[in-house]
Chain A
Amino acid sequence: GQNIDQPTEMTATEGAIVQINCTYQTSGFNGLFWYQQHAGEAPTFLSYNVLDGLEEKGRFSSFLSRSKGYSYLLLKELQMKDSASYLCAVLDSNYQLNWGAGTKLIIKP
């Protein structure tokens, strides 16, 4: 079966940097997505990686290592509004999206 693992919860301080990890075991791989979901709201797209390496987009960066089945989302200069859940999702060989349970990020002042 498909397996997407993320930490359940993380805490970080405003202004700091945090790295949210995602490991996956899926039948094939056609890309990995990161979404942000504020409490009570819908998920919104953050990033997509299909090749190894780092993709930077402002304060957010996403890294992928296909050989290790591993990705991380890096958030810099944390702001209180970054308090949210971060969802990792992997596109498998059947082009089905497999979602992790999400990591709840708590930002403290």
Chain B
Amino acid sequence: IAGITQAPTSQILAAGRRMTLRCTQDMRHNAMYWYRQDLGLGLRLIHYSNTAGTTGKGEVPDGYSVSRANTDDFPLTLASAVPSQTSVYFCASSAGPSGSYNEQFFGPGTRLTVL
């Protein structure tokens, strides 16, 4: 693994189903983030984690949950998917805590369609 990986690459999901998007980094970064990107809108922060064992809510957390059991993994779960959650989801990480001067490194993204 080099950098950040996300799985799956894309997914079509029926509304009401549960879905977990996976994110793994091998850079030993402390902070990790989940964003969604929709056409015409900027990246919007869903949840973040400054270090293993801690998480925080971003701008659009409703309908999503995260966990950070270890440094490398930061899964995002949609408990009951709705069509408005159709989006491209990016996981990112940075060496320092959320909002520090450190640049964020992004995974390749997961394209999710909820029907």
Q: Which residues of A contact B (CB under 8 A)?
A: 4, 8, 30-31, 33, 41-45, 48, 50, 87, 89, 91, 94-102
Give me the 9 closest cross-chain CB pairs, A-B, nearest first. Answer: A95-B99, A99-B42, A42-B106, A45-B103, A99-B43, A101-B42, A43-B106, A100-B42, A96-B99
B105 proximity list for chain A (CB < 8 A): 45
B49 CB to closest chain A CB (Å) equals 14
Residue of A nearest to B59 (CB): A96
Q: Between A and B, how many residue pairs show CB distances below 8 Å?
A: 50
A95→B94 CA distance, assembly (Å): 13
**Cα A95 to Cα B33 with chains together (Å):** 14
Chain B contact patch, size range: 20 to 34
Q: B97-110 vs A: 1/0 string, CB under 8 Å?
A: 11111011111110
Interface of A is mostly: loop
**B40 and A101: CB pair below 8 A?**
yes
Q: Mark B residues whose CB is within 8 Å of A.
A: 40-45, 58, 90, 97-101, 103-109
Q: Which residue of B lies closest to A50 (CB)?
A: B101
Q: Report whether B90 and A43 are in contact in the complex, using a CB–CB cutoff of 8 Å.
A: yes
Nearest-CB distance from A62 to chain B (Å)? Answer: 13
Which of B42, B97, B104, B106 is the most central at the interface, judged by chain A CB atoms within 10 Å of its CB? B42
A91 to B97, CA, bound (A): 13
Given the known inter-chain contacts A95-B98, A99-B43, A101-B42, please indicate yes or no for A41 contacting B108, CB distance below 8 A: yes
B9 CB, nearest partner CB in chain A, Å = 11
Do residues A42 and B107 form an inter-chain contact, with CB atoms below 8 A? yes
Given contacts A99-B44, A102-B42, contact A44 B106 (CB under 8 A): yes
User: From residue A77, how far is it (CB to closest CB) to chain B in Å?
Assistant: 24
Asked if A42 meets B90 with Cβ closer than 8 Å, knowing A48-B101, A50-B101, A94-B99, the reply is: yes
